[in-house]
Structure 1
Amino acid sequence: MDERTVVVTGGTHGIGRAVARAFAAEAWTVVVGARDAAELEETVADLVSETDGTVTGLRADVRDEFDCERLMETTSRAGPKSGIDVVVACAGVYHGDAGETPIDDESYSRFDDHWRTNARGVFATITEALPHLSDGARVLVPTSSVARDGKSGYGSYAVSKAGAEAVVRGFAVDTDFVVGCLDPGQVATDLTGGEGRDPASVAELFVWAATECDPDALDGEVVGLADWKRATRDETNDGIDREEATGGIDG
């Protein structure tokens, strides 16, 4: 059994679930956080059955800093040693259909919840994890090219992802931990309406970033599929180029 512990927010769907499964398959202690208790229970049971790993779940809404605090405190005691080795902040929302939510048609309520979940939620997740991080711990935050490139129709979702990237850069320069963004390109999740690559095909990017990626290349930066391909020369990623790897939204 690996003695390392990872916590994955938004771990019942899409990228989060695939990432939790990938770490469980590597014999890490995995703690999954999510808002829906029933989905959380089902996910944990499935992951344990599929990987025979040590997986537990805790209901947590990243919009609530007290939920985040409780999640991190619980995670720090979940493994064979105290502390958290990796945080993967996958919790996120997209209100509307991907690419069809122009900002000039955005409601205040959607803007606020995008920001509260996707940007402030990342801030709360990292803030509450800090007291529990082990030496050499890493924090990984999925991102999207819409955070950096002007693309029509992504409205306040794009604003919130840009905010999340700024949060990551802030923690990278103001703390001694490695905090970075991962851009998996467009992935088939609820956020993308099922369009994009299989979440399982990008999950290993997160495991690699957590364990092997050069910390200087990750800290405060955006690492994509093309970077992973170059670093690992994994033949299963043949045909992925940088343009493809940074398209669409994460989920």
Structure 2
Amino acid sequence: MSLQGKKALVTGGSRGIGSAIAKRLAADGATVAITYAGNKAAADATVAAIEQAGGTAFAFQADAADGASQRAGIEQAAGALGKVDILVHNAGVAEFATIEQDTDALFDRQFDVNVRGVHVGTRAALPHLSDGGRIILIGSISGELGLSAVATYSATKAAVAALARSWAKDLASRNILVNTVQPGPIDTDLNPADGEFAQQMTTMIPLGRYGTVDEVSGVVAFLAGPDASYVTGTTINVDGGTAA
């Protein structure tokens, strides 16, 4: 229970990696609030799973692409928690398109959610964030790799890592630690290990398999906990060696 008494806010926490992060932080003792864009049933299921395991959780609707909605959701979550010790930005979208196929709308949607939503959400949370708190951004190894048909998504995740590096310096005087976790191929309902592209993707992974959501949430829990007290401004890849 290394996070006993801590209050955690996870954006995009209704399913997949975000849900796993919320459950892990709760299992480690934190009270957790999640935000979700529109899937209330999945958000309620995550809250129910945490409560059934003996934890405390809340869910609030917030569209990360909409500044007003993002700010309102953050404010509601912070109000329910009383304060924020751990802020995890997991909300994100990915659209696959080559440069010939890309459009202004696809570009804007990904930057609005993946970058602007993180920027707006962090600024909204800062007045509630405890000195000595943690900000953890969920990026992607796509931000380091040149992969076909994901240029815009990759650019958003490179921007996320850049924000974290600079914010780590901006917030060091408050001892707020800011880091990025960059998953590689992770088995989720949107990218299943037995999906259409999984066999081709697996050949790129030195460990020869997809990762699990629990392997990502474990790294997030480390960064949120006391053992990471001297870790800030860095990125940790959870990718089976794919970006090595």
Q: Which category describes the TM-score, using the shorter chain as reference length? A: 0.7 to 0.9
Is the Cα contact below 8 Å between 2:59 and 2:77 reproduced in 1? no
**Preserved CA contact (<8 Å) 1:94 1:191:** no
- Write the deviation string for residues 137-162 of structure 1: whole angstroms up to 9, x where unpaired: 00001112221222222121111111
Bigger proportion of residues as helix: 1
Say whether the 8 Å CA contact 1:5–1:78 is kept in structure 2: no
* Equivalent in the alignment of 1:136: 132
| 1:5 shift after superposition | 0.4
Question: Does residue 12 of structure 1 match 2:14?
Answer: yes
CA distance 1:150–1:216, shift in 2 (3 Å): farther
* Equivalent residue number for residue 181 of structure 2: 182
TM-aligned CA distance change 1:186 to 1:134, over 3 Å = same
Instruction: Report the Cα offset of residue 210 of structure 1.
Output: 0.6
TM-score w.r.t. structure 1 length? 0.80
Aligned equivalent of 2:201 = none
**Consecutive unaligned residues in structure 2, runs of 5 or more:** 199-209
Mapping of residues 94-113 of structure 1, within 5 Å: 94-96=94-96, 101-113=97-109
Q: Does 1:221 align with 2:234?
A: yes
- Tell me if the contact between 1:83 and 1:134 (Cα under 8 Å) persists in the aligned partners: yes
Cα deviation 1:180-234 (Å, max 9, x = unaligned) = 10123221224435553221232111111111454443x22112349xxxxxxxx
The answer for the alignment partner of 1:93 in structure 2 is: 93
Give the equivalent residue in structure 2 for 1:73. 75
Cα-to-partner distance string for 1:117-175 (whole Å, 9 max, x where unaligned)? 11111111211111110110000011122212222221211111112222222322222
SS in 2 for 1:57: strand
Counterpart secondary structure, 1:220 = coil
Local SS of the residue matching 1:104: coil
State the Cα distance separating 1:95 from its structure 2 match.
2.1
Q: 2:167 aligned with 1:165, yes or no?
A: no
Aligned residue pairs total: 223
Counterpart in the other structure of 1:200: 214
Q: Aligned to 1:77, what secondary structure does the other structure show?
A: helix
